[in-house]
Structure 1
């Protein structure tokens, strides 16, 4: 028989294990350049960098930095791989937790994740001005390498004359097509978001033509959805997103979404530009498309953590990333450097495909994207999409299939189809209400749960109710139910007599 003491011990150990899992679900184990899983000694030479960049990019920069004069001038050698520690963290909460650390284990730099994430960290006082490093060489390098704007989009964040972040790499947002799958599905190659939302892009209830990432799991796809919402307006934007989801499927993160088009699961995937370039190198049928009806250029930042403890190494690493040599590593990894001089390096001259995309991106007239508005509605956009599209996608697919088929077989007119789409997709809160909800979602976990449940149930009622309205079976079922009840009553009366 197991004693109560042993039961208590087991319960205590289980609780500790659960807390351990909960903590590391938010903050990933550090990844060093050598893929070591040990926790490094927090010596003056260690740089802790929180990031959302992929491991291949991190390895390239760690190796390049240690071999550079920037590193060797302050005492690093090429064998110091365990002193460049990358903390790969995906969630906003995880970033807040990691950047909030002080003393041993504190973050020195934040690198990659998009302007909205960095702006939210500034808002939470978790980043400090780059000029606090007191390194004039670094400031001069940033001035020389980082343009004030690209295609009308600012590439630095200035607050009260302080440089809070600077773009280290640029991106556009669009989609990647697989021309073979388009042909197999009998679809024309799209060039706009509205084409993807058209009933013409619907294949079958059980076949997805589009892969869309789920916002809680992908920053880049979330930015795509925000671009659509700003370009077309809050109401029309949600119509387009719902319609695209009706034609497609929800694929989780951006890697899974990209894999969908490479592996011929779908004809189109939502992608940031460098994922499109990568897809094209992996699959000759794939091609990245910058939508003609709206994209935005993005400067992916690097910044200094508020609780940084290694300023000399942080400044050296930043200088390397802004040098032509460091910038050429973005080209190697299918991305667009912020500094045009990177294309004059030996690495840069090997990728004319990236140079071509770079030139197209710089001449692209993107939308007038409002970063402040994006930040003010970010959490609402993520959770509303998750509740009304991702969580009940099966219900959406059913009603969308019935609606498109009714239009295609002539049962309803295009005007009736459009009216029904507007009814189904009508946002449950105005843009101003979305800003208020955004603040409440960030400040109250219970509010977030409650409002998401409310949004989900309202959307489900719309989808299911619309599906039943369009079907003859509810009326027939009611008729036969009444007949059955009358027959039972008649039989009971006969038995009584």
Structure 2
């Protein structure tokens, strides 16, 4: 007869142990690589006895979807990623909670004209980042290629097959790179330049890590990346260099407290740790190589490290995260339909255009020049124009929940239309370029 109370006591003890274990765990969802999260896990757990850090690695788009799908009390505690527009999405959906006590008062208010922390206090800048190009010096030397200086360089014929980028639908940092180019050049001109460069791409990788890994190993010559990928490769001893083009932006990588997380107090301690002097110093680890939000005067900075304030001053783009957030789904969807899923056709059109241009230089022909101009129009014009992307009704469709059957059907129809149009355009561009080349024989 004594067994029931004993079983109850044992069950209660197990429940208390489980609750204590849960209370001592901070769950962080992040797109950042293992080299970074491992360093912060080790440092934070050493500084906070009894608290564990659980890291869920997801690309930024998947992380947003994951947080949205879970009920309050089941969500991760912290969101940590590079894309400020991703945090705008979470803030809009009331999935972030202000935590003013985590802020480090030594962090400046702005980088250039861009606020480091969210003006509403819902998320905080934890590191700074710019966008540019990394290249393998041995690869370029072996292929007799000059180091690129501007995005426009990557559209030149000599770089055909030597460039790599990841898909913005799979990588928040790539989306920021693409959006920076679109904001810097304007929508129509930006897409034209982007498509010219994409035609020179050897690959569109599934994850952002695939690009720096490929450049570090010499699989690709040049990668379009966020700065820390290039700097980490360089400072880890790989034969790579990195440069910021003039059309770049410096914006914060952010961290925020998720509304409805399990362990609020412990989560706040982790966010505060990442913003502390100790947490900021970790960014200089060669495998991480990020730019801190704390002033360099407060830290031990490695020799030759980029001066982030100088980069911000000369950057031509004052990044507009509200604009980026408003058209986020349009940009990633359009990129996939025109580039990711149609890369072979775009490559073929670009190769035909390059070949025809080379022949036209050797043997000018007005008719061939006109055909070539038409070919470029088909290959490098965006399927959505500037006026469309300013249409709020059009943008709102892409913000709706795809789980709604009617919405999903409408979006799928739109994307299939883009895909078929892109395929037809690239085929027509290839045909016209081949006709132009034939006239120069």
What TM-score do you get using the length of structure 2 for normalisation?
0.84
Change (3 A) 1:191 1:40: farther
Distance 2:111 2:172 in 1: 20
Of 227, 238, 241, which aligns to 2:194? 241
Q: Higher mean Cα deviation, 366-375 or 281-290?
A: 281-290
Match of 1:98 in 2: 67
Distance 2:184 2:148 in 1: 18
Is this contact kept in 1: 2:61–2:169, CA < 8 A?
A: no
Distance 1:120 1:190 in 2: 34
Distance 2:239 2:37 in 1: 29
Match of 1:21 in 2: none
Distance 2:37 2:152 in 1: 36
Match of 2:348 in 1: 398
Distance 2:20 2:340 in 1: 42
Match of 1:117 in 2: 86
Of 420, 433, 439, which aligns to 1:457? 420
Is this contact kept in 2: 1:175–1:276, CA < 8 A?
A: yes
Distance 2:250 2:308 in 1: 11
Match of 1:35 in 2: none
Is this contact kept in 2: 1:384–1:455, CA < 8 A?
A: yes
Match of 2:224 in 1: 270
Deviation of 1:283 after TM superposition, in Å, equals: 5.1
Q: Higher mean Cα deviation, 398-407 or 419-428?
A: 419-428
2:377 maps to 1:422: yes
Distance 1:164 1:227 in 2: 23
Is this contact kept in 2: 1:152–1:366, CA < 8 A?
A: no
For residues 322-341 of structure 1, what are the structure 2 equivalents within 5 Å? 322-332=275-285, 333-340=288-295
1:156 alignment partner, SS class: coil
Match of 2:388 in 1: 433
Change (3 A) 1:468 1:104: same
Give per-residue Cα distances to partners, 1:285-305, cap 9 Å, x unaligned.
31001002x001120111111
Match of 1:177 in 2: 135
Q: Between Structure 1 and Structure 2, how many residues are aligned?
A: 404
1:216 alignment partner, SS class: coil
Is this contact kept in 1: 2:165–2:224, CA < 8 A?
A: yes
What TM-score do you get using the length of structure 1 for normalisation?
0.75
Deviation of 1:100 after TM superposition, in Å, equals: 5.1
Change (3 A) 1:91 1:295: closer
What CA RMSD, in Å, does the superposition of the two structures yield over aligned residues?
Answer: 2.6
Distance 1:391 1:408 in 2: 28
2:231 maps to 1:304: no
Is this contact kept in 2: 1:48–1:85, CA < 8 A?
A: yes
2:54 alignment partner, SS class: strand
Match of 1:16 in 2: none
2:173 maps to 1:215: no
Distance 2:330 2:72 in 1: 34
Q: Higher mean Cα deviation, 193-202 or 432-441?
A: 432-441
Distance 1:112 1:145 in 2: 22
Distance 1:262 1:460 in 2: 33
1:211 alignment partner, SS class: strand
For residues 221-260 of structure 1, what are the structure 2 equivalents within 5 Å? 221-249=174-202, 250-260=204-214
Match of 2:156 in 1: 198
Is this contact kept in 1: 2:183–2:319, CA < 8 A?
A: yes
For residues 17-28 of structure 1, what are the structure 2 equivalents within 5 Å? none
1:352 alignment partner, SS class: coil
1:300 alignment partner, SS class: strand
Give per-residue Cα distances to partners, 1:122-143, cap 9 Å, x unaligned.
1111112223xxx4xx34x2xx
What 5-or-longer segments of structure 2 have no aligned partner?
Answer: 1-17, 401-406
Distance 1:252 1:360 in 2: 32
For residues 22-37 of structure 1, what are the structure 2 equivalents within 5 Å? none
Give per-residue Cα distances to partners, 1:163-213, cap 9 Å, x unaligned.
1111001111001022222233232221001111123433xxxxx111121
Is this contact kept in 1: 2:134–2:215, CA < 8 A?
A: yes
Distance 1:179 1:53 in 2: 26
Of 14, 31, 36, which aligns to 1:52? 31
For residues 9-20 of structure 1, what are the structure 2 equivalents within 5 Å? none
Match of 1:65 in 2: 44
